[in-house]
Amino acid sequence: MTRDEILTKLSEAIVDNDEDAGLEAIEQGIKEGLSPVEMIEQGLSAGMLDVGEMFEDGEIFLPQVMMAASTMANLVEVVQKEIPEGEKAESAGKIVLGTVEGDVHDIGKNIVKVLLQANGFEVYDVGRDAPLESFIEKAKEVDADIVASSALMTGTMQFQATLEEMLKDAGIRDRVKTMIGGAPCTDHWAAKIGTDAYAENASEAVTKARELMAM
């Protein structure tokens, strides 16, 4: 089985909610030398993105999304165990992550979380529809390097701007970087509200997080 076939099988395992097929594909991936991050990012996460699109298009419903997310979580746990203990890097940074208050969408946020963790970041997830105070409190508690917020509706984007001001008022904006994401967000919006980075998708979120940590 080729690399692309294995990744496709991993993706389909999420869409079909077939954990056994996913486990088989992981085993094949290990034999063929695929990296854990590659299997998560280009296989499992790709499938979860497809599930999210199917949900948004009304092709499937919330219970199916929840089952797919559970399957993904189980398979990701299996993949991460394949990273030899001696090869596990030190923390790449501490990130507080959440979907802003008033917004219950979290599929994209959850995928970002998985990829960040797979790339060595410590992620502290404050959840969806999260009060802005929870971002502040958690950032202080864990001495976060980055505070990342997601907004999936134009009506909740303003809370990302408010979070910037609250971080300043709390006296910690000068020691944390901020990153935003979500369907209606853009580079222009990020510049307008003064955040440090905008990521269009989960893979880019990892890249931007690394860049912020290098600043």
Q: For position 179, what pLDDT does the model report? A: 98
Shared domain check, 127 and 63: no
68 or 136, higher pLDDT: 136
Q: Out of 87, 118, 144, pick the residue that ends a domain.
A: 87
Shared domain check, 140 and 112: yes
User: What is the percent of the chain with per-residue pLDDT over 70, rounded to a whole number?
Assistant: 95
Instruction: Phi first, then psi: give them for residue 186, nearest 5 degrees.
Output: -145, 170
Residue 76's nearest CA partner among 131, 28, 129, 113 is 113
Shared domain check, 125 and 193: yes
39: containing domain: 3-87
Per-position DSSP letters for 131-143, written without gaps between them: -HHHHHHHHHHHT
CA of residue 166 relative to chain centroid, distance? 23
Q: What is the pTM of this model?
A: 0.69
Q: At 19, is the pLDDT very low, low, confident or very high (cuts 50, 70, 90)?
A: very high
Read off the CATH number of the domain in which 111 is found: 3.40.50.280
Read off the CATH number of the domain in which 68 is found: 1.10.1240.10
**What is the total count of domains within the chain?**
2
Q: For position 184, what pLDDT does the model report? A: 93
